Copies of this chain bind each other. A is one copy, B any other.
């Protein structure tokens, strides 16, 4: 799977390329065994959406490169750590088109490779962050861990409420987007009102991101994903497309029955959810979040950086990556 292209975001593309070297250098200069375990993930090239957010938002204000790259690296390394540990729980074998750390090196090394990245991230952050900025990051990691435990407990529960679902995706994804934007805004030197608007932009963008990510499970093609589709519902993680059909449609009962043998009914479940409007409904919700995200940008000067932030909202909706 190729790295996400930032070509359409010309104004930050060069900086993101340079940042990539900086990030690789932080990950590289460490012990060989760990390096081996994490290099696959690192080189497979994440989308680097969170660093892009932080850097772009910093440019909206009084951008200070050293600190902003530090923040961006911290968040991306933390994101990588959570991916490695997520894959242990999900028993995933593919991530970004490559074998996961746990399937290649075993759960054991995956646990410590993730831990290593956690402490590396905080190590990096301690170079530049104030106590307040530090708390932004540690708070969100605490919340992510709590919600991962909860998600695991709620597996195979198709009585999950919408509220539970939104709580889950907020914690799983949106909060890290939100704190990325808050860190960018901190670097930019914005006041509290502006900071809050940008943090909300991040949160709504993150909600849309996770909603469209959850949709991927119901896509017919597998090529672009770099990970197997239908991985969620076969593992008992029930997302909005599915919950919608169960809750809103008379045929919901039939879907529950199909889910009792989710693995063998995989294709049928997918078609059933699409046919009964689960995908369309989820997409409409994602669009609402995108709209809310865009509104939060309205009071900022309409320069090239703001245009990147707007373009990003459209890109997420299309999920061309």
Contacts and interface: CB of A to CB of B under 8 A. Distances in A.
A30 interface: yes
A120 B142 contact: yes
Interface in A154-176: none
A113 interface: yes
A251 B203 CA distance: 66
Given A114-B115, A123-B135, 14 more contacts: A30-B142, A34-B146, A37-B149, A88-B108, A106-B152, A107-B107, A115-B141, A115-B145, A115-B148, A118-B141, A119-B145, A123-B134, A123-B138, A126-B138
Nearest to A37: B149
Interface string A95-131: 0000000000011110111111011101100110001
Contacts of A118: 115, 118-119, 141
A152 B108 contact: yes
A123 B111 contact: no
Contact of A116 (B116, B135, B146): B146
Contacts of A115: 81-82, 85, 114-115, 118, 141, 145, 148
A66 to B, nearest CB: 14
Contacts of A120: 138, 142
Contact of A109 (B106, B142, B149): B149
A116 B82 CA distance: 11
A171 to B, nearest CB: 10
Nearest to A132: B126
A278 to B, nearest CB: 27
Nearest to A146: B31
A193 interface: no
- This chain: copies in complex: 2
A150 interface: yes
A119 B81 CA distance: 12
A139 B123 contact: yes
Contacts of A123: 134-135, 138-139, 142
Among A89, A111, A120, A131, which residue has the most Cβ atoms of chain B within 10 A? A111
Nearest to A140: B119
A43 to B, nearest CB: 19
A119 B138 contact: yes
A5 interface: no
Contact of A89 (B111, B114, B116, B152): B111
A34 B151 CA distance: 12
Nearest to A91: B108
B119 A126 contact: no
A33 B116 contact: no
A127 B138 contact: no
A79 to B, nearest CB: 13
A142 B119 contact: yes
30 contacts: A33-B149, A34-B146, A81-B115, A85-B111, A85-B115, A88-B107, A88-B108, A89-B108, A89-B112, A107-B107, A108-B152, A109-B149, A109-B152, A109-B153, A111-B111, A112-B145, A113-B145, A115-B118, A115-B145, A115-B148, A116-B145, A118-B141, A119-B142, A120-B138, A122-B138, A123-B134, A123-B135, A123-B142, A126-B134, A127-B131
